[in-house]
């Protein structure tokens, strides 16, 4: 039996909200508006996953699938320094791949699974999980096919989480109304619909607060209360 490892987010408030951090053997979905901190948390987790268990890390490597071209190796440097790690070594332990189509994204997962059977990984990031599905399946008639392919992708992610004791962190952007801060799509039903909602073990909604302040709310997590936590985005990554 594999035991759950909880990886620190860099914010004590956020860790407490999550019962200790982002969990292995699970999928965590972060959904929310543009600039709410989803990708910045991904960058912070790239570093904290490499910390020893005694420092609330995962003592493992990171796989990063980027569908939007928003990964910044330069961002990793100050975050590694903040956690007292060598930035070059941290970057060497992040296996990065840019995906251009949903099929490419799926094939990358197959390749990563092979790598994970050889080396100790603790985190898989997919930022963002459905952006390419929105591009590749546009017509109304394609909705059923899109949901089927999405379900296939998500079942692959679940399998990876369970087989390799990895934390899967995936993001999902939701369109916000720039005027009122009201979600055009129901935040309970973000793009991806029920297929996505059922695959994620823990769903987190991110939104902007004042300045660099961000708010995270727990949605539909089986063993966590539906509370909120406030965190900050700093040069050293996610923090209190
Ligand atoms: P999302 O992925 O949810 O669209 P991001 O994670 O990219 O959003 O967050 C973007 C925000 O992160 C920016 O608006 C900025 O406030 C903050 N940010 C990015 N880089 C830094 C940095 N080096 N120092 C402080 N804040 C930063
Ligand atoms: Mg992003």
Kindly give the distance from the C-alpha atom of residue 231 to the centroid of ligand 1, in angstroms, as a whole number: 12
**Angle 38-48/73-82 helices, nearest 10 degrees?**
60
Nearest CA to ligand 1 atom 10: 35
User: pLDDT tens for residues 127-143?
Assistant: 998 888 877 887 777 88
Residues within a 6 A CB radius of ligand 1: 34-40, 212, 233-235
Integer CA distances (angstroms), 171 to 57, 140, 148, in order: 21, 24, 19
Q: Choose one of 9, 10, 30, 37 to mutate for the ligand 1 pocket test, by most ligand atoms within 8 angstroms of C-beta.
A: 37
Question: Which three-class secondary structure state does DSSP give residue 109?
Answer: helix
Nearest to 204 by CA among 4, 13, 3: 13
Nearest to 227 by CA among 72, 12, 68, 14: 14
Neighbours of 220 (CB within 10 A): 15
pLDDT, position 197: 62
Predicted ipTM > 0.95: yes
Neighbours of 136 (CB within 10 A): 17
pLDDT, position 145: 86
Give the H or E element holding residue 94. Answer: strand 94-98
Q: Choose one of 44, 187, 233 to mutate for the ligand 1 pocket test, by most ligand atoms within 8 angstroms of C-beta.
A: 233
Kindly give the distance from the C-alpha atom of residue 2 to the centroid of ligand 2, in angstroms, as a whole number: 31
Q: Verify cis geometry, omega within 30 degrees of 0, for the bond prior to 128.
A: yes
Per-residue pLDDT for the chain (240 aa), expressed as one digit of tens each?
789 999 999 999 999 999 999 999 999 999 999 999 999 999 999 999 999 999 999 999 999 999 999 999 999 999 999 999 999 999 999 999 999 999 999 999 999 999 999 999 999 999 998 888 877 887 777 888 888 888 899 999 999 999 999 999 999 987 654 443 333 344 444 556 666 666 668 999 999 999 889 999 998 777 888 899 999 999 999 999
Question: Residue 4: which residues within 8 A CB-CB, separation 6 or more?
Answer: 23, 24, 25, 26
Kindly give the distance from the C-alpha atom of residue 130 to the centroid of ligand 2, in angstroms, as a whole number: 12
**Interatomic CA distance for residues 32 and 39, integer angstroms:** 11
Nearest CA to ligand 1 atom 23: 235
pLDDT, position 193: 63
Tokens 């990895």, residue? Answer: 166
| Angle of CA points 85, 24, 93, to nearest 5° | 35
pLDDT, position 201: 85
pLDDT, position 192: 64
pLDDT, position 180: 38
pLDDT, position 199: 65
């Amino acid at each position: 039996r594999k035991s759950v490892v909880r990886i620190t987010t860099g914010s004590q408030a956020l860790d407490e909200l999550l019962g200790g951090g982002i969990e292995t053997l699970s999928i965590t979905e972060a959904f929310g508006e543009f600039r709410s901190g989803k990708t910045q948390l991904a960058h912070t987790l790239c570093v904290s996953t490499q910390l020893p268990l005694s420092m609330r890390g995962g003592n493992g490597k990171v796989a990063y699938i980027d569908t939007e071209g928003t990964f910044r190796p330069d961002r990793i440097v100050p975050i590694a320094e903040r956690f007292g790690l060598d930035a070059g070594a941290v970057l060497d332990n992040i296996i990065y791949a840019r995906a251009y189509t949903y099929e490419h994204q799926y094939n990358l997962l197959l390749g990563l699974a092979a790598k994970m059977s050889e080396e100790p990984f603790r985190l898989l990031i997919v930022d963002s999980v459905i952006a390419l599905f929105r591009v590749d399946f546009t017509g109304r008639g394609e909705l059923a096919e899109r949901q089927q392919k999405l379900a296939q992708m998500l079942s692959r992610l679940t399998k990876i989480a369970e087989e390799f004791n990895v934390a899967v962190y995936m993001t999902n952007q939701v369109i916000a109304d720039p005027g009122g801060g009201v979600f055009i799509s129901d935040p309970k039903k973000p793009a991806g619909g029920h297929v996505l909602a059922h695959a994620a073990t823990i769903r987190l909604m991110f939104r902007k607060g004042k300045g660099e302040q961000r708010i995270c709310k727990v949605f539909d997590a089986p063993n966590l209360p539906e509370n909120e936590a406030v965190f900050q985005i700093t040069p050293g990554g996610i923090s209190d």
